[in-house]
């Protein structure tokens, strides 16, 4: 789940302008509402800055999944990227190569395009439910762009694990929703440039 302290540290590390960071609402003390900060990020950062910040986020970068990703990467180190992707195609969240050479993944987190809320996002329900509903009521025209930014945290999670599994370096280039609607809404789509 997105964390304002981590977002602020990333902005500082990326050397974003201090006057922009100051306007985000970080006070350096404790926890700030994530949804409000992300709304300001959408208004004040370029697309490139936003993606650079969000690709560094992500929860669950350790633990069982991290260990499994590293084990997979080591076990298949001698295989080509295509071979590794073929093996991973049996998983629920399957990475794939796009025609332009970028890597994509569609994840089982859904955002409805009409309700303007995050009905099936496990990160929102509970911790940020009231905050997201208040933002939606105040800014109905901005909720979908906010949803994409919020889901950038998940894109950071997947970037971390895909890099370990595939033993390649990635850069997040887009966060979006699948055009194919399921009974739960639209799966989130993350695209990464292979940079090494």
Residue 47 lies in a domain: no
Can you tell me the mean pLDDT for 165-180? 91
In a domain, 28, yes or no: no
Number of structural domains found in the chain: 1
Q: Is residue 87 part of a domain?
A: yes
Closest Cα to residue 135, out of 148, 117, 121, 111? 117
Segment 105-146, tens digit of pLDDT = 988 776 655 554 555 566 776 667 788 888 888 888 887 788
**What's the whole-model pTM score?**
0.89
Task: Over range 20-37, report the average pLDDT.
Answer: 79
The residue that leads in pLDDT, 130 or 16, is 16
Quote the domain boundaries for residue 120: 58-194
Q: Is residue 113 part of a domain?
A: yes
Q: Which residue has the tokens 């084990």?
A: 71
Per-residue DSSP letter, 174:
E
| Lookup result for tokens 């990475």 | 95
Supply the pLDDT for residue 147: 79
Whether 4 is in a domain gets the answer no
- Tell me how far apart the alpha carbons of residues 175 and 191 are, in angstroms, rounded to a whole number: 7
User: Looking at the domain assignment, is residue 38 inside a domain?
Assistant: no
Q: What is the model's pLDDT at position 17? A: 96
In a domain, 181, yes or no: yes
For CA atoms 180, 183, 188, 191, give the dihedral sign.
negative
């Amino acid at each position: 789940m997105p964390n304002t302290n981590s977002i602020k540290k990333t902005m500082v590390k990326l050397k974003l302008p201090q006057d922009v960071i100051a306007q985000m609402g970080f006070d350096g003390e404790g926890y700030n509402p994530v949804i409000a900060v992300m709304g300001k990020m959408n208004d004040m950062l370029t697309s490139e800055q936003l993606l650079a910040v969000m690709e560094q986020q992500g929860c669950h970068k350790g633990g069982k999944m991290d260990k499994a990703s590293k084990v997979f990467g080591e076990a298949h180190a001698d295989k080509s990227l295509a071979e590794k992707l073929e093996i991973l195609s049996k998983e629920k969240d399957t990475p794939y190569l796009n025609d332009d050479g970028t890597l994509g993944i569609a994840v089982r987190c859904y955002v409805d395009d009409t309700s303007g809320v995050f009905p099936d996002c496990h990160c929102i329900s509970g911790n940020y439910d009231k905050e997201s509903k208040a933002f939606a009521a105040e800014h109905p025209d901005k909720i979908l762009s906010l949803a994409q930014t919020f889901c950038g945290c998940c894109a950071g999670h997947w970037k971390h694990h895909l890099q370990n599994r595939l033993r390649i370096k990635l850069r997040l280039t887009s966060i979006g929703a699948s055009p194919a609607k399921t009974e739960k809404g639209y799966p989130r789509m993350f695209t990464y440039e292979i940079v090494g």
